[in-house]
Structure 1
Amino acid sequence: MAQSGVMSDTRRCPHPRVIVTRELPDAVADRMTALFDARLSRGDARMTTDELVAAVAECDVLVPTVTDVIDADLIARAGPRLRLIANFGAGVNHIDLAAARARDIIVTNTPGVLTEDTADMTMALIVSVPRRLAEGEKLVRSGEWKGWSPGGMLGHRIGGKALGIVGMGRIGQAVARRARAFGLSIHYHNRRRLPRSIEDELGATWHPDLDEMLAIADIVTIHTPLNADSRDLIDRRRIGLMRPHVYLINASRGGIVDEEAMVDALEGGRLAGAGLDVWRHEPRIDPRLLALPNVVMIPHMGSATLEGRVASGEKVIANIRMWADGHRPPDQVLDGWA
Structure 2
Amino acid sequence: MTKPRLWITRRLSDATLARAAHDYDVVINHADTPGTAAELIAASAEFDAIIPCHSEHFSADVVAQFADRLRIVANHSVGVDHCDLSALKARGIVVTNTPDVLSDATAELAMLLMLGAARHAVAGDRIVRTGAWDSWSPAFMVGKQVTGARLGIIGMGRVGRAFAAKARGFDMDVHYYNRTALPDDQALGATYHDSVESLLAVSDFLSLHCPATPDTTNLMDADRFALLPKGAVIVNTARGALVDEDALIAALDSGHVAAAGLDCFQVEPGGNPAFAKYDNVFMLPHIGSATRKTRDAMGFRALDNLDAFFAGNTPQDTL
Q: TM-score, normalised by structure 1?
A: 0.91
What is the Cα deviation at residue 228 of structure 1?
A: 2.3
Report Cα offsets for 1:284-312 as digits up to 9, x if no partner: 32222111111000010111011111101
Q: Which residue of 2 aligns with 1:188?
A: 176
Q: Which residue of 1 aligns with 2:38?
A: 50
Instruction: After the TM superposition, list the runs of 4 or more consecutive aligned residues in structure 1 that deviate by more than 4 angstroms.
Output: none
What is the Cα deviation at residue 84 of structure 1?
A: 0.4
Name stretches of at least 5 consecutive residues in structure 1 with no aligned partner: 1-12, 334-338
Say whether the 8 Å CA contact 1:14–1:325 is kept in structure 2: no
Correspondence for 1:118 among 82, 106, 109 = 106
The separation in 1 between residues aligned to 2:100 and 2:278, in whole angstroms, is 34
Q: For residue 112 of structure 1, give the secondary structure of its aligned residue in structure 2.
A: coil
What is the Cα deviation at residue 172 of structure 1?
A: 0.8
Report Cα offsets for 1:311-336 as digits up to 9, x if no partner: 01111111111111111111101xxx
Q: Which residue of 1 aligns with 2:122?
A: 134
Answer yes or no: is 1:146 the counterpart of 2:131: no
Identity over aligned residues, as a percent? 39
- The 3 A distance-change label for structure 1 pair 192 and 59 is same
Superposition RMSD in Å:
1.4
| Mapping for residues 1-338 of structure 1, pairs under 5 Å | 15-199=3-187, 201=188, 203-333=189-319
What is the Cα deviation at residue 198 of structure 1?
A: 2.8
Report Cα offsets for 1:78-100 as digits up to 9, x if no partner: 11111101111111000000100
The separation in 1 between residues aligned to 2:183 and 2:21, in whole angstroms, is 43
What is the Cα deviation at residue 14 of structure 1?
A: 5.8
Name stretches of at least 5 consecutive residues in structure 2 with no aligned partner: none
The separation in 2 between residues aligned to 1:319 and 1:60, in whole angstroms, is 14
Say whether the 8 Å CA contact 1:267–1:292 is kept in structure 2: no
Please tell me the residue identity of whatever aligns with 1:51.
Answer: E
The separation in 1 between residues aligned to 2:5 and 2:26, in whole angstroms, is 6
Report Cα offsets for 1:83-138 as digits up to 9, x if no partner: 10111111100000010011011000010100000011111111111111221111
Please tell me the residue identity of whatever aligns with 1:88.
Answer: H
The separation in 1 between residues aligned to 2:165 and 2:18, in whole angstroms, is 36
* Count of residues paired in the alignment: 319
The separation in 2 between residues aligned to 1:311 and 1:125, in whole angstroms, is 23
Say whether the 8 Å CA contact 2:44–2:68 is kept in structure 1: no
Q: Higher relative CO (CA 8 A, sep ≥ 6), structure 1 or 2? A: 1
The separation in 1 between residues aligned to 2:37 and 2:91, in whole angstroms, is 20
Q: For residue 151 of structure 2, give the secondary structure of its aligned residue in structure 1.
A: strand
